[in-house]
Amino acid sequence: MVWQPEIEELKHRRHLAEQMGGPEGIERQRRRGKLTVRERIDVLVDPGSFQEIGGLTGSATYEDDKLVDFTPTNSVMGICTLNGRKTVLIGGDFTVRGGAADASVGDKHGRAPRLSSEWRIPLIRLLDATGGSVRTFEKIGRTYIPTNPGSYGIQKLLCEVPVVSMVLGSVAGLPAVEACLAHFNVMVKGIGQVFPGGPPVVKAALGYDITKEELGDERTQAYCGVIDNVADTEQEAFDMVRRFLGYLPQNVWELPARAEPTDKPDRRDEELLSVIPRNRRKGYDARAVLGHVIDHDSFFEIGEFSGRSRITGLGRVDGYPVGVMINNPLFLGASMDVAAGLKVIRFMQLCDTFHLPMVYFADEPGFLVGLESQKEGIVRAGAKMVCATYQTRMPWITFVIRQLYGVAGQCHDRPGGMFKRIAWPSGNWGSMHIEGGARAAYRRDIENADDPVAKQQEIERKLQALASPFRTAEAFNIEDIIDPRDSRPILCDFINMAQNALKTQLGPTRGPSFQP
């Protein structure tokens, strides 16, 4: 019992730290419909697994060498487990100075990513914090040059371990950027907003009034691609994070874990024979196609609200985690615009970084044409897409289920690596569509004809006769044309074979690193 007084002092200090910003700050947090940072940790992590680091950090006041007041720092950090897997977690405490980044004590924001890198385990950020505060100037008696030593190693970290950010409040300044410095982020509807500067800053800079919701909630941030997924509640957001991490390895030196298979690898769904309409102008439910081929109920969509002409997400095939893409004919006719291209590039880099085979169901009519697309820079975005595709190395299988045209259609192909391309009988392809290409290639013939309309239709009929996928197969320009019902058995065999190739790719990628 020699050190019992110190043990009591330790218990007292920990109790003070757990009070966060005090009853008033906690009540203000709850009035806004938000959990406190410590409540969030309790809900998110495996019960009893959180081991806090720096729990005694804060600002203390002493009288006669006796502690009389203590305000904890506005972030909570530690190591926990999620579904039994070790993870570094850091959360902003909005009850203390609004979680202001420059009001923290110590460098927890720098220590958390370093710890994640050193221990090779994922990092989760619970973001409910502002950036800098002018109140800090008064407190320290000066201004300061903006620096961020905690983010210097973030690019390296993104190439090593999974990083997740959760937007759980009004997030501005540096924390707003941290929302994007991640492989996956999620915002909670009704309480989450992201912006570089809030409404007072907008008013001072631009002279107009705007609410924080109008400025930075899911209505802007999810549809422009800043935010990947949107949750209705904090609990749903926590569930999304657990599920996302379940598809990934602890780090790039490990393979993603296989789940116990719950679906037959030889399943052949009859619906696949009629899922693609014979009329090429008719759409279909692309998500339903996925359900007929990958493991039942395994698809986790990422980026639903941005780049909507391409659906991306994670799934499982015979229990193995995979990346999954499919064109969405119900938006822009499935054509690739700038937003879809940027989304796909980031998704390909995610899969390449963490050794997830790519499964692509292709129905690509080409890059989106027209004046507005030109103004958005579709040509440069297309060039980036081509380069990003060629730089991947994970095993890749493409099912051409309908269209594959132009340069955008090339962005399923690689010059090397484990790659497989097969087509359904509904497939059609080329450098450009016959309908538009005939007018360009045979313009003189058409214009000089007695009946230009009839002449164009005649030329198109002749060309359409050459567009049969079986003629392409005769030239060995496609590996095979398959019965759509055989897609799942073929896919399961490919993914099982891919595991040997993936073992040779462990470690950081040799190409360009992951870009937020």
CA distance 244 to 306: 18
Q: Which domains does the chain have, with CATH numbers?
A: 4-246 (3.90.226.10), 270-424+482-503 (3.90.226.10)
Is residue 99 predicted with pLDDT exceeding 60? no
Tokens for 371, please give them. 């004046």
pTM of the complete model beyond 0.85:
yes
Pairing type for strands 396-405 and 419-423 reads parallel
The DSSP output letter for 13 is H
Q: Do the Cβ atoms of 179 and 185 come closer than 8 Å?
A: yes
CA distance 283 to 289: 12
Q: How do residues 276-329 score in pLDDT, each as one tens digit? A: 999 988 999 999 999 999 999 999 999 999 999 999 999 999 999 999 999 999
Q: Do the Cβ atoms of 157 and 123 come closer than 8 Å?
A: yes
pLDDT value at position 233? Answer: 97
Tokens for 382, please give them. 């297309």
- DSSP sequence for 41-58: HHHHSPTT--EEESTT-E
Choose between 397 and 460: higher pLDDT.
397
pLDDT value at position 456? Answer: 76
pLDDT value at position 278? Answer: 92
Q: How do residues 192-218 score in pLDDT, each as one tens digit? A: 999 988 888 888 889 888 988 899 899
Q: Calculate the average pLDDT of the chain.
A: 88
Pairing type for strands 310-317 and 320-327 reads antiparallel
Rounded to 10 deg, the angle between the 286-293 and 487-503 helix axes is: 70
Q: How do residues 469-481 score in pLDDT, each as one tens digit? A: 888 888 888 889 9
Sign of CA dihedral 76, 77, 78, 79: positive
pLDDT value at position 63? Answer: 84
Q: How do residues 314-338 score in pLDDT, each as one tens digit? A: 999 999 999 999 999 999 999 999 9
Q: How crowded is residue 315: how many other Cβ atoms within 10 Å of its Cβ?
A: 22
CA distance 283 to 265: 28
